[in-house]
Amino acid sequence: MLFDLPKQNKNSKLDALKYRLWIAKMADVDIDNYPKSVMATISVNVLLPGAVYKYLDARVDTINPNAVPGAAPLNGVLTLSPIIDGISAATLAWIYENIGEDFVTIWERCSDGQKFIAGSPCNGGMKFAYTSIGRQEDGTAGIATTFTGGQCPEPILLYDGPVPVAPPVQVAADATTFVLTPVPQYQLTENTADTVLSDITNVTTADVGRIIEVIGGGSVHPTTITSSDKFILNQGLDFIASTGSRISFEITKTGTGFAFFEVYRI
């Protein structure tokens, strides 16, 4: 079981010192198509189509990413140590049900919004455990936890991709455009005839820099995305949105509006 664990309601100034750790089980990671990092950065979704992250609200000063050298000369081992405030039935149930599970984890640096990712097929994921349930060093009640990765040459990477936390937006059959929403994933489907996606609408300046993912879902008449002023495709190669395929775009500003620059496809 994996569900969102929000912070506890407490009358404490410590409530202001929170930020979110996103987690997904390794079973939801697209291991066969896991992307390689570029400049120590991953910029695309690493989960299987339709899979989403859940979150833990932890004290901002307790994530404490700490990578140390591994036994092998070129490897490192990363540990995260988030403390969850309060002790509730839902929190305890989640802790007990997930001990020993492996996760991919994403967290955000408060100062500038930069996200980081850890847990991959390389290290087998970040194994979850708890180290203390009850009174913490500052005198408040909470649960001290750890996520520890196996040895890997890249124990921690920057992350600029989407963090899907809700099911993909379903795009109607035969649609030649769809409306951009805050959700980062869009699920195409089978069409009644050959269909070309020509645009994504409702884009604003605030969306520039976002990365979105389009998930294929056709067989006989899948949607096609062709290279155009709107869709800037690698090497100008068409994308056929058949079932099992995916493509990620970064939203960019152009002189005449907005365009979608391919960053990855499967």
Tens-place pLDDT, residues 54-92? 988 777 778 889 999 988 878 999 999 999 888 888 889
Residue where a domain terminates, one of 104, 130, 159: 159
Adjacent-strand bridge partners of 157: 117
- Region 146-151: mean pLDDT is 95
pLDDT at 1 over 70: no
* Domain region containing 205: 169-265
8 part of a folded domain: no
- Region 4-15: mean pLDDT is 47
* Residues 107 and 40 grouped into a single domain: yes
Tokens of 92: 């305890």
pLDDT at 17: 34
pLDDT at 179: 98
* pLDDT band of 10, cuts 50, 70, 90: very low
The larger pLDDT score, comparing residue 251 to residue 58, is at: 251
pLDDT at 3: 62
* Residues 28 and 113 grouped into a single domain: yes
What are the tens digits of pLDDT across the range 176-223?
999 999 999 999 999 999 999 999 999 999 999 999 999 999 999 999
| DSSP-assigned letters across all residues of the chain | ----BPPP--SSGGGGSEEEEEEEEGGGB-GGGPPPPBTTEE-S--BPTT---EEEEEETTS---EEEE-SSTT-EEEEE--EEES--HHHHHHHHHHTT-EEEEEEE-TTT--EEEE--TTTT-EEEEEEEEEE-TTS-EEEEEEEEE--BS-S-EEE-S----SPPEEPPTT-SEEE--S-SEEE----SS-EE--EEES--GGGTT-EEEEE--BSSS-EEE--SSSEE-GGG--EEEBTT-EEEEEEEEETTEEEEEEEEE-
pLDDT at 14 over 50: no
218 part of a folded domain: yes
* Residues 17 and 124 grouped into a single domain: yes
Please give the model's pTM, rounded to 2 decimal places. 0.81
Name the average pLDDT for the chain: 89
pLDDT at 158 over 60: yes
* Residues 26 and 107 grouped into a single domain: yes
* Residues 42 and 101 grouped into a single domain: yes
* Residues 48 and 133 grouped into a single domain: yes
* Residues 176 and 250 grouped into a single domain: yes
Adjacent-strand bridge partners of 57: 20
5 part of a folded domain: no
Residue where a domain terminates, one of 138, 159, 180: 159
What are the tens digits of pLDDT across the range 123-133?
999 999 999 99
148 part of a folded domain: yes
Rounded CA-CA distance 102/121 in Å is 11
* Residues 140 and 179 grouped into a single domain: no
pLDDT at 15 over 70: no
- Tracing tokens 């010192």 back to the chain, one arrives at 17
* Residues 173 and 135 grouped into a single domain: no
Phi, psi for 60 (deg, rounded to 5): -60, -30
Say which residues have a Cβ less than 8 Å from residue 88's Cβ, sequence separation at least 6. Answer: 8
Rounded CA-CA distance 116/126 in Å is 13
184 part of a folded domain: yes
pLDDT at 18 over 60: no
pLDDT at 255: 85
- Tracing tokens 């079973």 back to the chain, one arrives at 27
pLDDT at 19 over 70: no
* Residues 109 and 173 grouped into a single domain: no
- Tracing tokens 């994403």 back to the chain, one arrives at 106
Domain count, the chain: 2
Q: How far is CA 35 from CA 5, 42, 46, 95, 250, in A?
A: 28, 7, 7, 30, 16
Among the ranges given (11-15, 98-102, 114-118), the one the predictor scored with the smallest mean pLDDT: 11-15
pLDDT at 6: 60
174 part of a folded domain: yes
Residue where a domain terminates, one of 159, 187, 203: 159
145 part of a folded domain: yes
* Residues 33 and 97 grouped into a single domain: yes
